[in-house]
A and B are shown apart, each in its own frame.
Chain A
Amino acid sequence: MLEITGLGHAYGAHRVLEGIDLEVGEGELVTIVGPSGCGKSTLLRCLAGLMAPGEGKVVLNGTPVTGVPDDLAVVFQDYSRSLMPWLTVRDNVALPLRRRGLGRSERRAGAAEALASVGLGDAAGKYPWQLSGGMQQRVSIARALAYRPSLLLMDEPFGSVDAQTREDLEDLVLRVHRSEGVTILLVTHDIDESVYLGDRVVVLARDPGRIRAELPVTLPAGRDQIGTRSDPEFVRLRAEVGRLVRGVAADLSEAASR
């Protein structure tokens, strides 16, 4: 579905990304982990067509990405700045649905459903600045879900929520992924999360950001917070990803073969 070849980018003299080659299949959930500043957000912005990469190309369903493709939703890392303070939570979530040609009541229904799914059914009439950071983050997730995209890009979407809510939201993403067949690219700096959610984990190295390893996650599809996290395979993968992220020399061929 998504093919990235030789993608690189520099801000001025600062090389941020280099030689990124990555393929994402239809309906796959790929997680991207990497240290802060390695270019994860820059990569997502290139994929979303929000900025043109300095080199390389991105092809989505056979067409090169130049502008923002249709049917794509983004959950921005800067969630609070991506919400419009002059719109209520409900209107924020419903805003992109205007583009879908839905009537007012359908938009409201879609927004209400998405808000309920992130546990914010009661907050629809409030303004974003009346909510906590974690709640705002959930609003921006609800906005992306209500849009029903075929490709969903999420940039550290659970950074500000508490541990319990985070687990609930992780399971929500897995549920949406499974029931609607959405292709998802999710950036995180949480190693456990990358393994728990991903069908595949992509580990980025920094300066310049490039792919250090790609690990298929060989865990059963039906995951649950307690069972999966104590699975020996999960523990092994987590350690592996942890070593790769920290840059400890890891045997890549060994990692790939297992």
Chain B
Amino acid sequence: MTAATLGAGTARRGGPAGRAARGLLHRLLPLVLLIAGWEAATRASDSPFFPPPSQIVRRMRDMWLSGPANHLYFSAEAGDSIMPSLGRMFLGLALSVVVGVLLGLALGRSEQALAYLEPLLQFCRVIPPPTLVPVFIVLFDLGTQMQVASIIFSAIWPILLNTADGARSVDPVQMATAQAFRLSAVQRLRFVIIPSALPKIFAGLRLALSLALILMVFSELLPGTSDGLGFELTNAQSQSDLPTIWSVIVLLGILGYLFNTILLAVERRILAKHRAGAKG
């Protein structure tokens, strides 16, 4: 929420490009200082466990960005580790969105179903998803199937429950209007219920995104994995290759930040029309 308000504030003042750039600089300053401090400290201590950032960056470039120009410099190794991971994450996330939103809408509009099922759903949601991974290992084929199942089982709950909550709390006057003008069920969903639930759906989606990222890595740390960032991590660990471990960690941080930023931008764009709701 704070990030959103900050962003809106700079956007309003950011008439001249120079001022916008300076704003960005101010926000990046703490990060730059942190990295500089880290660099100095790790160089001074010379610990094998904490390589300096410059070394990590070099390793990241050698590992993932040493490819030919026509592949946007992505190396074959990037294709072998980053792509399978992201593919599984987005597959899991996409399935969670489709199933979660559909079930959530159905549940939210049926008071009885929600009353019966909500305690059960809340129960499923609070189970820490990693604890279920061993179950999925037994239930599904090792590898992609198990990994996608783990991601779905963690990411679907916030989407489902938030959608149900949003669909339930549509303004009764809006529903009465839709009813009085005899909108069909599909029209009610499309023009009233889904737009009204959208802010909550997005909130659920943001939670789901971070959970999916966690489960993506976690499910790849287990035996039976042959590719992905998690696999790279265990592999590097067995060889005590600390720069690679740190590279994967930094990359995951960058990816998480990037996806969250994209999602926020999309959300802000789509929800611009809901300004009235935000005002009160």
A interface vs B, CB < 8 Å?
45, 48, 50, 68, 70, 72-74, 76, 78, 81-82, 84-87, 95-96, 98-99, 127-129, 143, 147
Q: What A residues does B180 contact at CB under 8 A?
A: 48, 50, 68, 72-74, 76
Of B35-43, B58-66, B155-163, B169-177, which stretch is located at the interface?
Answer: B169-177
A85 pairs with B273, CB closer than 8 A: yes
- Are A73 and B181 also in contact (CB < 8 A) when A85-B277, A129-B275 are? yes
In the docked arrangement, what's the CA distance between A84 and B174, Å?
7
Q: What B residues does A128 contact at CB under 8 A?
A: 276
Chain A nearest Cβ from B270, distance in angstroms: 9
B interface vs A, CB < 8 Å?
171, 173-174, 176-177, 179-184, 187, 191-192, 195-196, 198, 273-277, 279
B195 pairs with A84, CB closer than 8 A: yes
Q: What B residues does A127 contact at CB under 8 A?
A: 273, 275-276
Q: What B residues does A74 contact at CB under 8 A?
A: 176-177, 180
- Are A99 and B184 also in contact (CB < 8 A) when A82-B174, A85-B277, A129-B275 are? yes
In the docked arrangement, what's the CA distance between A197 and B8, Å?
49
In the docked arrangement, what's the CA distance between A72 and B174, Å?
16
Chain A nearest Cβ from B36, distance in angstroms: 46
B273 pairs with A81, CB closer than 8 A: no
Chain B nearest Cβ from A126, distance in angstroms: 11
Q: Which 10 residue pairs across A and B have the least CB separation, nearest first? A: A129-B276, A96-B181, A81-B173, A85-B276, A86-B195, A74-B180, A86-B273, A82-B177, A78-B173, A82-B173
Selected from B173, B179, B192, B275, the residue in CB contact (under 8 A) with A68 is B179
In the docked arrangement, what's the CA distance between A86 and B257, Å?
29
In the docked arrangement, what's the CA distance between A127 and B272, Å?
11
In the docked arrangement, what's the CA distance between A257 and B73, Å?
95
Q: What A residues does B179 contact at CB under 8 A?
A: 50, 68
B182 pairs with A76, CB closer than 8 A: no
B171 pairs with A81, CB closer than 8 A: yes
Chain B nearest Cβ from A158, distance in angstroms: 18
A98 pairs with B173, CB closer than 8 A: no
A50 pairs with B176, CB closer than 8 A: yes
In the docked arrangement, what's the CA distance between A98 and B171, Å?
21
28 A-B pairs whose Cβ atoms sit less than 8 Å apart in the complex: A50-B180, A68-B179, A70-B182, A73-B181, A76-B176, A76-B180, A78-B173, A82-B173, A82-B177, A84-B174, A84-B191, A85-B277, A86-B195, A86-B196, A86-B273, A95-B183, A95-B187, A95-B191, A96-B182, A96-B183, A99-B182, A127-B273, A127-B275, A127-B276, A129-B275, A129-B279, A143-B181, A147-B181
